[in-house]
Amino acid sequence: MTQTNAERRLAAVLIADVVSYSRLTGQDEEGTRLALDSHRFAVINPTIGQYQGRIVNFSGDSVLVEFASVVAAVKCGIAIQHGIVARNKDVLEDRQVRFRIGINLGDVLIDGDQIYGDGINVAARLEALADPNGVCISRAVYAQIDGLVEQTFADVGAHQFKNINTPVRAYHHSVTSVVSPEKSTFRPFIDLPVEKPTRITGGCLCGAVRYEISESDLGTMFCHCRMCQKFSGAPILAGTTFRTEAIKYTTGTPKRYQSSVIAKRGFCGECGSALTYEGTLGLWTEWTMIFTATLDHPEEYRPSYHLGVESALPWLEVIDDLPRTRCEDSPSLVQAYNDAKNLRG
């Protein structure tokens, strides 16, 4: 690709890949190839055409497709999976040619008939995350299809993918089964990546409370909710999430205020600096959100989405292309409040 010839555009990208292709070809290379070609011409190609997708590349066991419409990309992915499942109905399970599908909305580079960029890389990581016969989409896709696609997608947490700078929250739909147990475990903020030891420091304004963190962050967000506004005295607050057990206070400890039935907030008893948001029940206790500005190097933690936008102040205009979610639409918050309600009986 020559940079001078490349153009940029926003596109929905679909990647489909055959499950256990090496095993299938090892058992019966010719039969697997015939089955794949049959799926391609009977289901995959016609469905892509129906939803006005453009096949960028179809090689070996995978296909890369570009769509102008996010809704069309998702409907196409689900339709392909239904078609493949129907064709596999009378095939022995260990001989079925099945697919995983990942879909992302992102900026791509175009050079002739080819497309490149992180938008495609994220789609590939989402494809690998999907169950067989499943479709896995990014938060950017999920935000665009709300109310426009009949099928439901389960929130499977945010994931720190290799070579992708910011965590990606993923949503999954399977045409044949519920989400696998490891995916259905509720994650308040993001799934835990395997991290190398690190050292992150921060503290309050006066220095009476200092902390040290031994693991990398799990993601940063902007929050516009009224409780964060009142607690911080600011119209918008940035928070960076870490595993609770990775946080150690090296000087002093925060005072804490129970701000709701699901969380308490930490602050310095001397200078009043807002420091933390801490869950108080279930899996929420495994994560602590440190208010990003209290980190010694907050410039290193770029937010990846907005929460609580129903309370965003009309005179503050934040111009970016990050996903925006109301608190009442956040699966993590809804689940937490439901858990609290169930505990109270």
Cα distance between residue 137 and residue 173, in whole Å: 9
Whether residue 318 contacts residue 308, with contact meaning beta carbons closer than 8 Å, is answered with no
Alpha helical stretches, state H, the chain? 21-39, 45-50, 70-87, 118-129, 139-145, 181-184, 226-232, 331-344
Angle among Cα 294, 300, 303 to the nearest 5 degrees reads 80
pLDDT tens readout for residues 244-282: 989 999 999 999 999 988 899 999 999 999 999 998 887
User: d(Cα 216, Cα 108) in Å, to the nearest integer?
Assistant: 28
Q: Where in the chain is the domain with CATH 3.90.1590.10?
A: 200-344
Least confident of 77-81, 129-133, 332-336: 332-336
Q: Residue 113 has which token pair? A: 């008939």
Structurally, at CATH architecture level, domain 3-183 sits in: 2-Layer Sandwich (3.30)
Q: Note whether 305 and 323 are within 8 A (CB).
A: yes
Q: How far is 183 from 165, CA to CA, in rounded Å?
A: 22
φ, ψ (nearest 5 deg) of residue 53: -90, 160
- Token pair listed for 234: 């600011």
Instruction: Summarize pLDDT for 64-88 with one digit per residue, the tens.
Output: 999 999 999 999 999 999 999 988 9
**CA separation for the pair 101, 125 (Å, rounded):** 10
Using alpha carbons, select from 106, 103, 128, 102 the residue that is nearest to residue 115. 106
Q: Which tens digit of pLDDT belongs to each residue from 83-98?
A: 999 889 888 988 899 9
Q: In what order do the strands lie in the sheet with 247-251?
A: 200-203, 210-213, 247-251
Numbered ranges of CATH 3.30.70.1230 in the chain: 3-183
Domain 200-344 top-level CATH class:
alpha beta
Put simply, whether the predicted model's pTM sits higher than 0.85 gets the answer no
**Confidence class of residue 299 from pLDDT cuts 50, 70 and 90?**
very high
Residue 179 gets which letter from DSSP? Answer: P
Distance CA 253, CA 243 (A): 17
Q: Is the pLDDT of residue 196 over 60?
A: no
pLDDT attached to residue 181: 41
Q: Collapse the DSSP code of 53 into the 3-class scheme (helix H, G, I; strand E, B; otherwise coil) and give the result.
A: coil
